[in-house]
Structure 1
């Protein structure tokens, strides 16, 4: 599993990678690593303080902790959770059959399940029935967001793709998708602690820079090198590529 590979190389790259994970206000040094040469100092454009990060982390943890696993197999997990408005929502994580390194995730619209007759309106209080319906309907979420690995254990990292709907929800302040992202990251890519911190930082990054870096269809791509993931617990900061530019947060 990727989280084991990340742990295995942690000690070897810690001293090297920590040079690339300064505080929010620091810029990348081109002489240290050219691939971060276009990193942008976001501190002069947007204010993201330690307090902002702390509050976002608390909120993300609250969402993640409220998730209840309804059904789980080697390739699929279905959860319920408390949404931002206090109501109960449902979500699914599932492995791509053709690419085991990619995991899709999607928040489920129960009205859509009823409309497509995957479940009857009278069965919406039965979590087991809902879980079965979500599993059967997962092909309907084929355009959902996903997490996948790229490159090798040293030069690679994680690629996170947010669908137009999910990217927009995060940009407008929703914590639900970020809570789900933390669950995805912690389900095979990184440890739960790293997943929580990483998901929080990704959420702040999307809210700050989505309008500058979104794709033409409103979706968003992010890349985070393993070298930066390995030090996120120590630094509480990360370099990540949003769209076509590198940012520190």
Structure 2
């Protein structure tokens, strides 16, 4: 049975569904490998304009599969090299939307944090409960959270392990939108179709410079932004987009 189901619900939109329902989509090595393989393929797929990742109505992902690692030594944990799977996702040039219903715990919350946009259900549950089982976040939770929601909200999550609702996640800046649980995937796909309809070079470079500039000095980020803005005037899509706006018609973006 495939651990990740891949669909194309509309042109340019790729949907990845985590598929370990009996384990609440816990992230074992096999699932991580399969997910990373899909992201690797889609990163070089010119037809991929936006990726949506989701689980099911009960779980986005319930974190690492503890049964797989409970008896590991530090060297065995190091040799698993889980970081390589995360790196494939974080380096994906295609915009990624996480559609989160149910629980997003530990590694599941960290997986959502690798997305560019998070659409959360009102009753979704986000948490970093690693301290409750004697460890700590290891997939970027401490670092990505503090950049997303600041020190004090992050410390509350990582030091207590307590869950927060999708609505609370939105309030603190962890989610882009919060919607009724049964509308999460539809809203994420609607947003993905909108992104997929826009000029792909512009979208990819906008994602690239936003992420690169986040950890750079402001002047460096502004310089990168300015140079990429200037470069966009070498694309056919810039001419098409501006002329379509002037002529009051729908643009036809070709990705050139």
Pick the structure with greater CA Rg: 2
More helix by share: 2
Higher relative contact order (CA 8 A, sep 6+): 1
